[in-house]
Structure 1
Amino acid sequence: MFSDLVQRRQSARMAPWQRFTIGLLLCLMLAPTAHSAWQDPLATPAMATELAHQELLLDVTRADQRLIAVGAHGHIIYSDDHGQSWQQARVPVKVTLTSVHFPSGKYGWAVGHDGVILHSNDGGASWIKQFEGFRANDAIVAAAKQLKATREAQLASAEEQGDDVAIEEAEIQLENATFALDDALYDQETGSTKPFLDVWFYDARRGFAVGAYGMAFYTADGGQTWQDISARIPNPDRMHLNAIEPVGATALTLIGEAGTLIRSDDLGGNWRAMLAPYEGSLFGLVQRDDEQWLFGLRGHVFHSRDDGISWTELSTGSEQTLLGGVSTRDNTVLVGNGGSVIVLQKVGNNIRSIIIEGRKAYAGVAQTSEGGFILVGEDGVKRLSAEGELLNTQISMASGE
């Protein structure tokens, strides 16, 4: 989530001089000074701080009664009193974390920059690293090599049969597979650069992590192993996948840039591209019962009553990009740039557009067990009432465990 942190895609294939220039600039920017030694953020635990609740946070969720938020510097904080006070979790990395999901009160996963995937089995109080970008790159290269070999065999078969139409299609598929392998090898050489942007688990064993440039992984064993599934997803231009959300009992939807909308009706076994109601970037989807809300750039919000098959645009009165949302029994709350909060009330179908004082960007929102809401973003944690009004109560950090 909060995909503004991911740079806008450039050409997937750069000339050698471009790669050299970019590499040189990165070396200059990342070179350690005489006064400090570089530390690998994937091997450096997040630093304890009493200000974690006031710094950049990119997602928040609820696990039973507990609230868990993730953000910059590997910070993960949790609250057991509806967001009034927070404790900092023990985290083995200090990379920016972008998304968190708990399929139960005990087991949860968080993902972020450098392809990191973290796991907690104690309700978010402590975390272990399950996966990171170096291993992701290796898996993507292996899958790309296998796909290219498959495409070469398909072309050879078409040529043997003399089918001109099949030959042309096979040549296109082989060219795409070759470009994909070139990109994968380049990423492998440059390191763990691509971020995961969202994570979702069906239960304590089956889950997905998706991210920049079409990165998509699946686990069937609670994250002990992760499989690259990007070749199964119809995303030939490798658009950023900003979110993965359930729609109905067994359907999943991938939401991404440039109107990317990809659906599976069998929990990820097969995927098909859907016609999106908007050509701009989409950042998320929330559902409640038999209704869904899709949101993205410039305040665009779309509503569905048929499990995301067809969409109707809603007028929100706001042009601020929307980055996160939650749907409850009474309200659907969406948050985004410029302090924007959109409240869609179930009773009367009223829509209210609110601007939070300070106009900071908010990336995530969750409902507390008492009915209010927690917002997280570039200004840390904020609390809202059940009606969507800002609560000017003191929010503090307690000492960790």
Structure 2
Amino acid sequence: MSDFYRVLLPLLGLLLGVLPGAVRGEFIDVLDLPARTSPLAERAPLNDVSRTGDNLVAVGQRGHILYSDYTGGHWQQARVPVSSDLTAVYFPSRAKGWAVGHDGVILHSADAGGSWSKQLDGRQIGALMQQHYAALAAAEPASEEWPLRLAEAQRMVEEGADKALLDVWFADERLGYAVGVFGLILRTDDGGQHWRPFGERTDNPQGLHLNAIGAVDGVPYIAGEQGLLLRWSAEQQRFVALQIPYAGSLFGVIGLRGELLVYGLRGHILRSTDAGASWSTLDSGLQSSITAAAWDGSGRIHLFSQAGHVLRLLPQGSSLEMLPQSVMAPIAGADFAADDSLALVGNRGVRSQRLP
């Protein structure tokens, strides 16, 4: 036997033992396949990072979820029941958090990100919509809206699990929202035990993508494509559209103490100090998209670009400072650790740094 086959045959045997389904051509849905543990997970593409108490949690491709100590210096891979790409993560409290991603997946952790369980996936969302809008149609048979929404629900049933959720936010451990493509929005009032469609309470008649959700001074905002910006109206009990001086895609919302920033394509950053009634444009000096934002322990807002830039909002709020970076790598998500070091995630995994 040649040396070539002496090497090849043991490798084939190993492959047959480790990946029998793959070799036999068996299909395993990523929603049924737990994320694989990998020593390279820390360097694999990651899409978002969120602080929970004194720790950090990051999510990314193939169901990878990592959690760290308070400095972000040591990361461990969490137990995750799916291999779907994950897009966002949010913790409203120290222990409880939610992550969302492709295939309509919603995951929940009750132990600060160490382990996760699945609450919902895209195979269930279409049926949920059918049930929800059928009940509304029965209660209001004269309405022209419910047949249209029922038809959309049927289309989603036929499409199967192919429904991407792009962001998640919770007001507390019970009330939360997940948003995604083609206007998909879900709400829970019981910590994710039950999710229900919320499109009929959202001013988005074109079904535009809902890219991000976040709260400023306790009020939720949703940022979407084509300049769509929605704010929760407690009086109307719905998300109402705001008029802004930009018609491109928005990727996020951040703010506190009356300061509201929205950001998106080609370096666009808009600022409002009156809850979105009027706006000014901040000059980022960038053509790269602004993809993430976070505030540090002193309450200073920072924004991050797809090309690796880091901007800090100056105290007067009307201008930005570009901070020097030794490594220019794409940034998809960012958050500050308990020691005020910065955790950045992107297509090269996660890295930690301190800002001047």
Using structure 2 for the length normalisation, give the TM-score: 0.87
Please state whether the residue corresponding to 1:339 is helix, strand or coil.
Answer: coil
Which letter does structure 2 place at the counterpart of 1:380?
Answer: G
Q: How far apart, CA to CA, are the structure 1 residues paired with 2:194 and 2:49?
A: 25
Quote the residue 1:137 is aligned against: 126
Quote the residue 1:327 is aligned against: 295
Which letter does structure 1 place at the counterpart of 2:160?
Answer: G
| Equivalent of residue 124 in structure 1, options 102, 113, 117 | 113
Quote the residue 2:242 is aligned against: 274
Quote the residue 1:187 is aligned against: 156
**Superposed CA offset, 1:286-330 (max 9, x none):** 112221211000000111222333221100111111111112325
What is the aligned residue count? 335
Quote the residue 1:199 is aligned against: 168
Quote the residue 2:181 is aligned against: 212
Q: How far apart, CA to CA, are the structure 1 residues paired with 2:133 and 2:105?
A: 21
Q: How far apart, CA to CA, are the structure 1 residues paired with 2:279 and 2:167?
A: 23
In structure 2, relative to structure 1, the CA distance for the partners of 1:75 and 1:246 (3 Å cut) is: same
Please state whether the residue corresponding to 1:153 is helix, strand or coil.
Answer: coil
Quote the residue 2:313 is aligned against: 344
Please state whether the residue corresponding to 2:255 is helix, strand or coil.
Answer: strand
**Superposed CA offset, 1:67-96 (max 9, x none):** 000010100001104111100001000101
- The runs of at least 4 consecutive aligned structure 1 residues that moved more than 6 Å come to none
Please state whether the residue corresponding to 1:187 is helix, strand or coil.
Answer: helix
Quote the residue 2:223 is aligned against: 255
Q: How far apart, CA to CA, are the structure 1 residues paired with 2:312 and 2:335?
A: 13
Q: Which runs of 5+ in 1 are unaligned?
A: 1-31, 155-173, 388-401
| Equivalent of residue 72 in structure 2, options 56, 60, 83 | 83
| Equivalent of residue 60 in structure 1, options 49, 52, 71 | 49
In structure 2, relative to structure 1, the CA distance for the partners of 1:304 and 1:349 (3 Å cut) is: closer
In structure 2, relative to structure 1, the CA distance for the partners of 1:147 and 1:380 (3 Å cut) is: same
Summarize the alignment of residues 1-400 of structure 1 with structure 2, pairs less than 5 Å apart.
35-146=24-135, 153-154=142-143, 174=144, 177-249=146-218, 251-266=219-234, 269-328=237-296, 329-346=298-315, 351-353=320-322, 359-387=328-356
Which letter does structure 1 place at the counterpart of 2:242?
Answer: M
In structure 2, relative to structure 1, the CA distance for the partners of 1:347 and 1:219 (3 Å cut) is: same
Contact residue 233 and residue 271 of structure 1 kept, 8 A = yes
Q: How far apart, CA to CA, are the structure 2 residues paired with 1:274 and 1:214?
A: 16
Q: How far apart, CA to CA, are the structure 1 residues paired with 2:343 and 2:316?
A: 22
Q: Percent identity?
A: 38
Which structure is richer in relative contact order (CA contacts within 8 A, separation 6 or more)?
A: 1
Which letter does structure 2 place at the counterpart of 1:133?
Answer: G
Using structure 1 for the length normalisation, give the TM-score: 0.78
Q: Cα offset for 1:151?
A: 6.8
Tell me which protein shows more helix as a share of its residues: 1
